[in-house]
Amino acid sequence: MTKLTDTQAIILSAASQRDGHIALPLPDSLRGGAATKVVGAMLAKGFLEEVDANMRKGEHVWRETGDGHGITLIATDTGLAAIGIETDSAQVKPTEDTAPKTRTPREGTKQATLVAMLRAPNGATIAEIMAALDWQAHTARGAMSGALKKKLGLTITSEKVDGRGRVYAIRD
């Protein structure tokens, strides 16, 4: 399930109970720049969508377009799914757009060099990494545990090899 802040969950929950899943009015405690920041994040994640407001029906207006039209906010199917509500219009399925994106290191960086060293058939020792990248030992270990394991999701193994010491490698 998607991680939401308490404020995002409150907004989506209230919208789920309103006709047309209108997200306005926002909670009274959410004003000004804080409201703009929360709504901006929710728009970026696809939880909310901006639509033309029907001002004749008295819909709340999020912002005005400058030509006399108003824009309101509605909770999307993705937003409703984030709070555990499935809609009839769409079952949320991972697509190319919603599937988690795997990160890859940029070419020509020290991180890319480190990945190449660890993917080599014989792996690499801390001393070899330090020499190739001009890093301290703690930097090499930190890059493996932080950037490679946590951010890139790579599996890094280590084993003691006679004559070489501890050898690190990426095993897919």
Q: Following DSSP, what letter does each residue of 25-60 receive, concatenated?
A: SPPTT--HHHHHHHHHHHHHTTSEEEEE--GGGT--
Specify the pLDDT at position 90: 46
Model confidence at 4, pLDDT cuts 50, 70, 90, reads confident
Residue linked to tokens 């696809």: 46
Specify the pLDDT at position 82: 84
Class assignment of domain 6-82? mainly alpha
Residue limits of CATH 1.10.10 in the chain: 6-82, 110-170
Specify the pLDDT at position 99: 45
| Residue range 71-83, pLDDT digits in tens | 888 999 888 888 8
Q: What is the average pLDDT score of the chain?
A: 82
pTM score of the predicted model: 0.49
Among 108, 94, 121, 106, CA closest to 152 = 106
The hierarchical CATH code for the domain 110-170 is: 1.10.10
| Residue range 113-134, pLDDT digits in tens | 999 999 999 999 999 999 999 9
Distance CA 4, CA 6 (A): 6
Specify the pLDDT at position 151: 78
Specify the pLDDT at position 96: 47
| Residue range 39-71, pLDDT digits in tens | 888 888 889 998 887 655 667 888 887 776 788
